[in-house]
């Protein structure tokens, strides 16, 4: 990625972080405020805990005497005469239970009581009427049965105010710290009913206790039951708490407050920590047949007395036609008496569910920390890794919540944090993918621009290469000069290079030739090469000097005059007398040429007239070197790019390989061209697959003499 693309990604990433943090703040506030939709979601998640791991029944301290279908088939439809209920109570009382709870409301007199039938009997059957007059009231019979044992009756809360004054045990409210009276605001945090629906006065007066059977407001699923509530402004215990109070023989119910909140409900030595509003979360088990006995079996004497002795007994209706069925978190409907029995089992086994008052804060903290992790990582990671991270952040609260429930009966809300994290991740992913798409487009634009620029530069370099090649003379220009054979080639390491050669006639009988190498390669070396070649040629053509050493001094001064990059040039220049074969030359730091005798397959090196490269020593006094070429002898000049060529194993071509090529040449027409081609092919074959180390130039000059001129 280009620096421009990277720089543009930083503010975009910061923008994504800003949006993520804003959304995280809003979602955390929603989780904390608990709107209605969140409360329903939370309740459904808590139900899931119970579906995954229902409670195991550890003990059965409660026996439910159920008025079931079997009992209804024997004794007729409900309601039965209250004498039947009185008989049922007496049969149970004979087995010495700890307490009996009648989970049936009886707000009206028995319609089958003798006094209710008396008026009609007087008109139709006076004898029957006289007999009915001697019979006791069914309600009185039931009241006597109630009074004979530790019986608790229920009462229900109503939305509207009623004139009924509920009977309830005394409540003692104390502060947990014991430093002063309880907060006056505690009453406002306890569920309240405007009125009460109770039993007829005769029955209530006979009972040992009275407890609330209403479950409180819910979404039709009984998850929590208040252990204390208010009827108007009076505290009343729940049905289960009152049953415990009577069983323990306690005189009052003790409410321990923590500021304005309920902390504990106590009866005798039995204490139950509650939630802040005095409610308790029931941990449900599946239906267990050990809890139930049929009412008709009790009346028939078929029940083991140990099922009742020193136990809590609940009497309730469970027949399918009855309406006392409630929805539970387990997804099944249960009769109210079974729910009360499960609550009592929770109390005895201390297996109720706990939701600590600090749980919402922990849930928000977990959500915020995991959300910050997503915000920080999602824009930086790829979509796949970010999705794996999101899956991990979702799995963590889910696993933590399930683990806390399974091993500690603690209920933590994982649903709201998980939904919040999924929403947060979705937004971050959309923003990140959008930014990635924009980055891709920007990168494509940058790449396209770079390609266009590269194509433009390649075109410019190709043009420069053509221009550079145009600077170099072609041997064909001297094809009519029969006294010599001349050939040359130059292969730049890049598109253009710093090697150069030149040759031209000085008068009719002198040939000037030059080969040089600018230190470096590429465009800058090529430009300096062009300048050097032009200056040297200008000096050779304009100067009256015949000494090659003097021309080298002039060229050194001219080339050095404007050289800010401090380039230096190796060069070998010579002048050949085409009639006599006399060669005058000067070497400015260049590799010594080879003078080949093709007939004898031997060679010598021209070592005279040596000096430093141009532009290294100001005003250096270059000297001439002299030699006399024999007819047919061949002069070979190369730049260091030939000798320094390397193969893929980084072996150097070197002088020995060059000399091996020289001795293979034959004494024949076209030997100069054969020399150039042989060296070019041999070097290319040797260095195949390796990047050229430097520009490579070869110049071959064979003197034939005037005898061959035509």
d(CA 547, CA 541): 13
- 427 contacts 451 by C-beta, under 8 angstroms: no
Domain boundaries, the chain: 3-48+356-442, 62-349, 474-708
pLDDT tens-digit readout, 485-506: 999 998 887 766 678 888 989 8
Which pLDDT does position 380 carry in this prediction? 84
First to last CA, the chain: 67
Which pLDDT does position 709 carry in this prediction? 42
Q: 312-317 and 696-703: which strand pairing?
A: unpaired
Quote the pTM value: 0.65
Helix (H) / strand (E) element for 340: namely: helix 336-349
Which pLDDT does position 66 carry in this prediction? 93
Instruction: Give the C-alpha distances (Å, rounded to integers) separating 104 from 82, 88, 209, 356, 421.
Output: 12, 14, 14, 34, 48
Which residues, 6+ apart, have CB-to-CB distance to 71 below 8 Å?
294, 295, 296, 319
pLDDT < 50 positions in the chain: 1-8, 709-710
DSSP letters spanning 502-513 = EEEESSSSEEEE
Please give the structure tokens belonging to residue 692: 């050229």
- 222 contacts 343 by C-beta, under 8 angstroms: no
**CA angle (629, 592, 613) in 5-degree steps:** 125
Q: 3-state class of 249 per DSSP?
A: coil
Which pLDDT does position 636 carry in this prediction? 96
Which pLDDT does position 252 carry in this prediction? 92
Architecture in CATH for domain 474-708: 4-Layer Sandwich (3.60)
Please give the structure tokens belonging to residue 602: 């031997």
Residues 558/562/565/566 CA torsion (nearest 10 deg): 40
Helix (H) / strand (E) element for 455: namely: helix 415-471
d(CA 195, CA 479): 129
């Amino acid at each position: 990625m280009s620096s421009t693309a990277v720089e543009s990604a930083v503010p975009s990433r910061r923008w994504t972080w800003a949006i993520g943090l804003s959304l995280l703040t809003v979602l955390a506030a929603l989780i904390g405020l608990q709107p209605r939709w969140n409360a329903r979601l939370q309740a459904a998640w808590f139900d899931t805990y119970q579906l995954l791991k229902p409670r195991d029944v550890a003990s059965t301290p409660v026996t439910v005497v159920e008025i079931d279908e079997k009992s209804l088939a024997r004794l007729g439809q409900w309601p039965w005469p209250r004498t039947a209920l009185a008989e049922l109570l007496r049969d149970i009382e004979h087995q010495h239970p700890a307490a009996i709870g009648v989970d049936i409301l009886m707000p009206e007199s028995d319609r089958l009581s003798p006094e209710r039938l008396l008026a009609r009997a007087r008109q139709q059957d006076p004898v029957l009427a006289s007999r009915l007059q001697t019979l006791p009231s069914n309600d009185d019979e039931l009241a006597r049965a109630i009074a004979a044992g530790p019986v608790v009756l229920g009462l229900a809360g109503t939305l509207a105010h009623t004139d009924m004054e509920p009977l309830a045990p005394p409540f003692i409210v104390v502060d947990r710290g014991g430093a002063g009276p309880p907060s006056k605001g505690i009453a406002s945090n306890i569920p309240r009913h405007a009125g009460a629906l109770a039993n007829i006065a005769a029955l209530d007066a006979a009972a040992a206790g009275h407890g609330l059977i209403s479950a409180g407001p819910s979404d039709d699923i009984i998850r929590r039951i208040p252990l204390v509530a208010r009827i108007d402004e009076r505290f009343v215990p729940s049905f289960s708490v009152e049953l415990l109070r009577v069983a323990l023989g306690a005189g009052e119910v003790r409410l321990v407050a923590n500021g304005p909140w309920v902390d504990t409900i106590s009866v005798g030595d039995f204490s139950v920590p509650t939630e802040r509003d005095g409610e308790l979360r029931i941990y449900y088990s599946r239906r267990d047949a050990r809890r139930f006995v049929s009412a008709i079996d009790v009346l028939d004497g078929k029940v083991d007395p140990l099922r009742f002795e020193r136990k809590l007994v609940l009497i309730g209706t469970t027949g399918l036609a009855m309406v006392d069925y409630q929805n539970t978190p387990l997804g099944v409907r249960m009769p109210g008496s079974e729910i009360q029995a499960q609550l009592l089992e929770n109390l005895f086994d201390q297996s109720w569910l706990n939701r600590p008052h600090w749980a919402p804060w922990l849930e928000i903290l977990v959500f915020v920390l995991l959300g910050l992790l997503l915000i920080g990582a999602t824009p930086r990671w790829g979509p796949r890794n970010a999705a794996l991270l999101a899956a991990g952040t979702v799995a963590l609260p889910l696993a933590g919540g399930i683990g806390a429930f399974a091993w500690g009966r603690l209920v933590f809300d994982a649903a709201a944090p998980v939904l919040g994290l999924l929403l947060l991740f979705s937004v971050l992913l959309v923003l990140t993918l959008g930014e990635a798409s924009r980055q891709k487009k920007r990168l494509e634009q940058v790449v396209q621009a770079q390609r266009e620029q590269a194509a433009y530069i390649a075109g410019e370099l190709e043009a420069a290469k053509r221009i550079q090649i145009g600077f170099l003379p072609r041997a064909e220009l001297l094809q009519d000069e029969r006294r010599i054979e001349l050939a040359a080639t130059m292969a730049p390491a890049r598109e253009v290079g710093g090697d150069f050669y030149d040759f031209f006639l000085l008068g009719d009988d002198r040939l000037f030739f030059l080969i040089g190498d600018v230190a470096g390669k590429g465009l800058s070396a090529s430009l300096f090469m062009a300048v050097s070649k032009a200056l040297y040629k200008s000096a050779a053509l304009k100067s009256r000097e015949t000494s090659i050493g003097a021309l080298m001094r002039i060229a050194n001064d001219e080339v050095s005059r404007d050289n800010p990059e401090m380039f230096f040039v190796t060069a070998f220049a010579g002048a050949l007398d085409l009639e006599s074969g006399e060669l005058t030359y000067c070497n400015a730091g260049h590799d010594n040429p080879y003078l080949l005798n093709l007939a004898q397959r031997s060679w010598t090196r021209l070592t005279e007239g040596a000096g430093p490269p141009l532009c290294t020593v100001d005003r250096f006094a270059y000297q001439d070197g002299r030699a006399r070429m024999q007819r047919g002898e061949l002069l070979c000049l190369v730049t260091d790019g030939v000798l320094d060529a390397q193969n893929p194993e980084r072996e150097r071509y070197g002088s020995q390989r060059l000399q091996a090529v020289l001795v293979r040449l034959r004494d024949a027409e076209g030997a100069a061209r054969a020399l150039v081609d042989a060296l070019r092919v041999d070097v290319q074959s040797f260095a195949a697959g390796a990047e050229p180390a430097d520009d490579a130039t070869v110049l071959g000059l064979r003197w034939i003499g005037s005898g061959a001129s035509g």
